[in-house]
Amino acid sequence: MTKLKWGMVGGGEGSQIGPAHRLGAQADGLYDFVAGALDHRPDEGRAYAQRLGIAADRAYGDWQEMLAKEQARDDRVDLVTVATPNATHFEITKLFLEAGFHVLCEKPMTMTVEEGEEIVRVAAASGRICAVNYCYSAYPMVRQARAMVRAGEIGKVRLVVTNFSHGHHGDATDADNPRVRWRYDPAMAGVSGQFADCGIHALHMASFICSDQVESLSADFASTIPSRELEDDAMVNFRMAGGTVGRLWTSSVAIGRQHGFDVQVFGETGGLRWASEQPNQLIYTPVGGRTQIIEKGEAGVSEEAARLSRVAIAHPEGFPLAVANIYVDLAAAIRGETRDGLPTPEDGARSMAAVFAAVESAKADGAWVDARPPMFR
């Protein structure tokens, strides 16, 4: 099978998410990394791309140059990953899709609901694959949880509780550090801070495991460090279309919590728990029965959990391999196969609608607000 040709926008040297994409895309031999506009500083971007093995004529100074020059090539890249800061995602994703490239966009996909809906339309019209990097959904034991819920193993889901709370912005004396400050500045981050950054991962996870969609929500936002204009802590109650009750806490001032992303699903006949810091285990308790640990790689796990696990039982299989699973499914989708579970532009648009709903609700003392994008109402 010929390899797909892959390029990146953003993800330059020292970036947080760039390495996970490079490890993920190259884990299974499905892609050749041939082009990139990796940095907002053209010279640094070109130099770093070449150090990573990209030919000088495809190590671009900016994404506009990459778009124009790749479009003109017979051997143009198949897939472009957009791993730049949030405010640039919409324009880059839209223009690459319109030019006929497949795109994997980092979350949040856009800054507004209207832009989210526009990407849904552009992706559909382009006939290209567009995915959003909700990579936690690609951990094997998250797929196990989803499969168990779908198979009715915990009965009808009553309640889903999810947290994505860390303490890495909890030091008030570091609040003015530019790497931290922009996240709480509306001019840079948009309408929401912590909820748009981490809360949407948790909300996507709830929808993903329950195979259901968020319909309405009520939010309480707090800026616990007073100099911050946007929230650094949020509590969100939500309701899903199928009647499931949802609770979500997201925070960046929860000192002592490190990654802090976990989800619990409570059904009529059992409960499940998964945490990103112990991703190989899914905790399952049947009603009236003993709590069990379902281990990644053991016999009897779902087809999806088995398919997405590549290292032997009990070996750590972490974040970059979850990202790799997104790339595996993307390659399959690009080749025309259907892959259930690949996060879609619709997911990206739903997240944005939830962000705006949460902001509106928080301003209205927690009033319940419709959290669906208008196009899905």
Q: Which residues bind ligand NAD (CB under 6 A)?
A: 9-12, 15-18, 37-40, 62-63, 83-86, 88, 106-107, 133, 135
Cα–Cα dist 268/285, whole Å:
11
CB-wise, 18 or 246, nearer to ligand NAD? Answer: 18
For residues 311-348, one letter each, b for 16 or more C-beta atoms within 10 angstroms of the residue's C-beta and e for the rest, the string is eeeeeebebbbbbbbbbbbbbebbeeeeeebbbbbbbb
Q: Report, in Å, the least distance between residue 182 CB and ligand NAD.
A: 9
CB-wise, 157 or 352, nearer to ligand NAD? Answer: 352
Residue with the two structure tokens 């897939």: 79
Distances, alpha carbon 108 to alpha carbons 71, 194, 222, in Å: 26, 12, 21
Judged by DSSP in three states, 223 sits in: coil
Q: Report, in Å, the least distance between residue 364 CB and ligand NAD.
A: 27
DSSP 106: P
Q: Report, in Å, the least distance between residue 241 CB and ligand NAD.
A: 25
Judged by DSSP in three states, 236 sits in: strand
Q: Report, in Å, the least distance between residue 229 CB and ligand NAD.
A: 19
* Backbone φ, ψ for residue 109 (5° rounding): -60, -35
CB-wise, 134 or 284, nearer to ligand NAD? Answer: 134
Identify the H or E element spanning 158.
strand 157-165
Q: Report, in Å, the least distance between residue 92 CB and ligand NAD.
A: 8
CB-wise, 129 or 157, nearer to ligand NAD? Answer: 129
Q: Report, in Å, the least distance between residue 37 CB and ligand NAD.
A: 5
CB-wise, 77 or 83, nearer to ligand NAD? Answer: 83
Backbone CA torsion sign across 20, 23, 28, 29: positive
Compute how many other C-beta atoms are within 10 angstroms of the C-beta atom of residue 8: 28
Residue with the two structure tokens 């709480």: 184
Paired with 6 in beta bridges are 33, 79
Q: Report, in Å, the least distance between residue 121 CB and ligand NAD.
A: 22
HSE, CB side, 13 Å, CA atoms: give it for residue 140. Answer: 27
CB-wise, 85 or 289, nearer to ligand NAD? Answer: 85
CA R_g for the chain: 20
Q: Report, in Å, the least distance between residue 238 CB and ligand NAD.
A: 21
CB-wise, 189 or 240, nearer to ligand NAD? Answer: 189
CB-wise, 246 or 348, nearer to ligand NAD? Answer: 348
- HEC per residue, 271-289: EEEEECCCCCEEEEEECCC
CB-wise, 94 or 271, nearer to ligand NAD? Answer: 94
CB-wise, 16 or 338, nearer to ligand NAD? Answer: 16
Residue with the two structure tokens 């895309």: 25
Q: Report, in Å, the least distance between residue 40 CB and ligand NAD.
A: 4
> By beta-carbon distance, which residue lies closest to ligand NAD?
12
Q: Report, in Å, the least distance between residue 61 CB and ligand NAD.
A: 9
Compute how many other C-beta atoms are within 10 angstroms of the C-beta atom of residue 163: 21
- HEC per residue, 23-58: HHHCCCCCEEEEEEECCCCHHHHHHHHHHCCCCHHH
